[in-house]
Structure 1
Amino acid sequence: MVYISLGIAIISELIATSLLRINATTSGFNPMLLLGIIVFYCVSFYSLGQSLTVIPTGIAYAIWSAVGIVILTVLDLVVYHTHFVWQVYLALMLIVCGVVLLNLYAPSHG
């Protein structure tokens, strides 16, 4: 169940951050986007907090941030056609490897 909470935290954070990008690329102030950003970040942090009841803080935060970084980078590639140098892809692979190693060698959790 805690991994479901962590998944909700990740998805909510991705939505909020995507709304930030949309708000930045539109002209003018959009209160509905701002409300969505606030709501999804609140859901994200609440769900992240729920996952911390079992998963160690460092592990949960590493998973939350790494998955977010990788997915948002892929979204940048697909949606906004952003081009990255090869070092960015190497850095993303190292982030993923780091999170995998953390999960393999961290104290066991539920």
Structure 2
Amino acid sequence: MVYVSLGVAIVSELIATSLLRVNATNAGFNPLLLLGIIVFYCISFYSLGQSLTVIPTGVAYAIWSAVGIVILTVLDRVVYHTHFMWQVYVALALIVCGVILLNLYAPSHG
């Protein structure tokens, strides 16, 4: 169940950060976007906190941030057609490898 909480934290953080991008590309202030950003970040941090009851903090945070970085980079490429140099993809692969290694050698968690 803690991995469900971590998954909710990741998805809600992705939504909030994506709304930040939408807000930045639109001219003017949109209170509904701001409300959505606040709500989804609150959900994200609450859910992340719930996952910390079992998963070690470093492991949970590494998974949360790494998955967010990778998915948001892919979304930037697909949705906004952002072009990245090959080094960015190498860096993303290293991030994923780091999280996998952290999960393999971190203290046992349920």
Normalising by structure 2, what TM-score? Answer: 1.00
Partner of 2:51: 51
Determine if the alignment matches structure 1 residue 26 to structure 2 residue 26: yes
In 1, distance between residues paired with 2:11 and 2:25?
21
In 2, distance between residues paired with 1:91 and 1:66?
11
2:14 counterpart SS class: helix
For structure 2, the residue ranges without an aligned partner over 5 or more in a row are none
Partner of 1:4: 4
- One-letter code aligned to 2:6: L
Normalising by structure 1, what TM-score? Answer: 1.00
How far apart are 1:19 and its partner, in Å?
A: 0.1
Q: Deviations over 1:3-55 (max 9, x none)?
A: 00000000000000000000000010000000000000000000000000000
Structure 1 segments (4+ residues) deviating >3 Å: none
Partner of 1:41: 41
Equivalenced residues, count? 110
- One-letter code aligned to 2:10: I
Partner of 1:87: 87
How far apart are 1:73 and its partner, in Å?
A: 0.3
For structure 1, the residue ranges without an aligned partner over 5 or more in a row are none
